[in-house]
Structure 1
Amino acid sequence: MNVPAWLLPHRITIEPYRSDSAYGPTYGPPVADVPALVSAKIRTVRDREGREVTSTAQIIAAAGLDCPAESRITLPDGRTTKAISVAPHTAPGLPVPQSTEVSAE
């Protein structure tokens, strides 16, 4: 069971991070109009290398979201940010919604 659509009132655009090249990071094609719940709150989180960094936005979206760390995200207010960490929330066999949580710069 996925998180209900009525709990995802915001729309974001994601450019999935693919790799680094000689010219900098490369991204996949932008995916627009992704339903999400965006919370603009400052929090301390750990990045993929284990360092403590500051997150200024947290995003909840449907399970299976293609948004690896370092992906570019355009928030509903037009601000562009990068994904710091991504955590899938699943509970196989339990009657709770599955979702993906993204912490963004």
Structure 2
Amino acid sequence: MPGWLLRHRIAIEPYLGDTAYGPSFGPQVVDVPALVDESPRMVRGADGREVLATATVIAAPDLHCPPGSRITLPDGRTTTALTVAHHTAPGLPVPANTEVSCE
């Protein structure tokens, strides 16, 4: 994805897993270039249920954001990554990117 298309900046706390004290997150990565679309849409979560995603984040193809990660959107709202899809098309003239659907 060309950097000039990623007009927003987000922060990500990567989900590391559950502990005896609840979910564990890695160090926050700030100023991540992204394109944020806050249009609601239905997505299928990791557990198979259909859930309403309130935002979609499109970022560089090397984005590290496992499902369950905390994301701070440009407006300051904190949300959780529901699904993560890496889009690539080797050999084709289309941009590769990572798409994150957020709770």
Q: Which TM-score tier does this pair reach, normalised by the shorter chain? A: over 0.9
**Residue 33 of structure 2 is aligned with which of 32, 35, 47?**
35
Give the TM-score normalised by structure 1.
0.96
Partner of 2:63: 65
1:79 aligned partner: 77
Q: Deviations over 1:42-93 (max 9, x none)?
A: 1110111111000000000000110000000000000000000000000011
1:50 counterpart residue number: 48
Please tell me the residue identity of whatever aligns with 1:14.
I
* Identity level (%): 66
Instruction: Name stretches of at least 5 consecutive residues in structure 1 with no aligned partner.
Output: none
> Which residue of 2 is the match for residue 19 of structure 1?
17
TM-score (norm 2): 0.98
* Structure 2 alignment gaps of length 5 or more: none
Aligned-partner SS, 1:6: helix
Shift of 1:95: 1.4
4+ residue runs over 2 A deviation: none
> How large is the Cα RMSD of the aligned pairs?
0.5
